[in-house]
Amino acid sequence: MIYHNPVLKGFYPDPSVCCANGMYYMVCSSFQYFPGVPLFESKDLVNWSQIGHVLTRPSQAALEQVPSSGGVFAPTIRHLNGRFYMVTTNASTGENFYVYTDDIHGAWSDPVAVAQDGIDPSLYFEAGNAYFMSNGTDADGVNGVVQCQIDLATGEKLSPSRCIWQGSGGRFLESPHLYRIGDWYYLMAAEGGTEYGHMITYARSKSLWGSFTGYPHNPVLTNRNKAPYPIQGIGHGDLVQDARGNWHILSLGFRQQALWMAFHHLGREVFLTPVTFDEEGWFTAGTDGTTAECYDIAGDFAQKPLPERSFAAPDWYREWCFLRHPRMEQYGLTQGSALLHGTEVTLDEPGSPTFIGLRQQDFSGTVQCVLELDKGEAGLTCYMSEQEHYEVALRRGETGITALCRLNIGGVHQIQKEIPLTGNSARLVIRMEPACYHFSVVTESGETHLGTGQSKYLSSEISSPFTGVILGLYAVGDNTVRFTNFSCVYTET
């Protein structure tokens, strides 16, 4: 079966995977968005369905006033004796913690804190013992991949933190994961920063405490020297074995807008790369150490295209997200419509505006929605951060209701066009292309183009955050706005 990368499109960075009950389960970072840590299920490592989120209660992660790209970083999911564990960092509070559940489709526990610094934590289980690792500083002040034994029931450290590897020499050593395969312990990590120099490296040892010997040909996987090439930033991976005994790395990566357009605004996505072990126990990955656009793997299944998103399903909002901790009384989410109650909090500030969004998953497509407005402002947004977002909206001014296109770049607002409406209802449309967004309004008189925004200004290369564009509904002011007939359809590339 030939599959195409990425296997999960859009802003789903830092993937981690585990196997249980004949299924694969994956988690990804969520940063300032709530619910936190989207959770996925798959039978084949290629087709992923979101089954919920891990952090569904505000008490599980403090997100108040967290700026863009703050909040919940780099989760790891593991399974032991029927129980799932998810360990992560709240980078804004500096806390490493884990939660657990015995029902992967149910609620997760309150956080259990671990008093070890660093980010990108992981868990390893062996012989009834639990080990916690992160990229941090050990008890002697040595930086690197740091590990300690913990009491899994309480999070209490049972041993001092000890540095077990300092990487292959790349900057920003992070994302450590430990595996026992045969006689060897393999320690896989990321280096180079989650940008164009990103890479996956590893080392191995006969002891889980080391010393670890680096793979002689590190990095084992990177696209940093494949330029020009649309797939870049490959790194931060997790190793997984499929039901046929074959090995793979699930990693993050990103797609440039085009061959010679080095901007990415969809965020870091999930890529699948095959792994092969040699007779000496070292493994190689991908196509000469790089991740390609497609691979042929064993299996009788087909890769599914992106579905159309709408309000039609009873639980359509399962994949949607809010900014920070929402006040749920501001939302009425039912099959067929979304009722949003606005406040004075806007998209320009690190609070929790009335906003619900869906990750943009491909470069080309159309988003549209009908809304009714009596006062204030409401519309559709292409949201990257408080400083960078584009809107097509309706608002009531002194002379009545108008439709407008507004670009916010670096905190500078520009209204490209604003026209009066004769009624209080209209269809707002965003047409997406790799290089730009086109905004328009549709009334009984027809469709009127209101403006265009270049997507590069919502990219991580220009905008400071390293998340991805969220396509959202929002309302501002003392108003109640009903959104209906929502549709998001992609022309897949």
Per-position DSSP letters for 78-114, written without gaps between them: EEETTEEEEEEEETTTTEEEEEEES-TTS--PPPEEE
**Edge-first strand listing for the sheet containing 72-80:** 72-80, 83-90, 95-101, 112-114
φ, ψ dihedrals at 432, nearest 5°: -100, 135
Q: Is 433 designated active site?
A: no
- Measured CA to CA, the distance from residue 486 to residue 356 in angstroms comes to 13
CB 259, CB 221: distance < 8 Å: no
Q: Is 14 designated active site?
A: yes
- Measured CA to CA, the distance from residue 486 to residue 380 in angstroms comes to 10
Question: Of the listed 120, 138, 174, 391, which one is catalytic?
Answer: 174
Per-position DSSP letters for 428-447, written without gaps between them: EEEEE-SSEEEEEEEETTEE
Task: Choose among 266, 253, 322, 250: nearest CA to 71.
Answer: 322
Strands (DSSP E) found in 243-364: 247-255, 269-277, 283-285, 294-296, 309-310, 322-323, 331-334, 337-341, 354-359
Helix (H, G, I), strand (E, B) or coil at 137: strand
Question: Of the listed 14, 269, 386, 391, which one is catalytic?
Answer: 14
- Measured CA to CA, the distance from residue 427 to residue 483 in angstroms comes to 10
- Measured CA to CA, the distance from residue 143 to residue 1 in angstroms comes to 43
Helices (H) and strands (E) in the chain, counts: 0, 38
Active-site positions read 14, 174
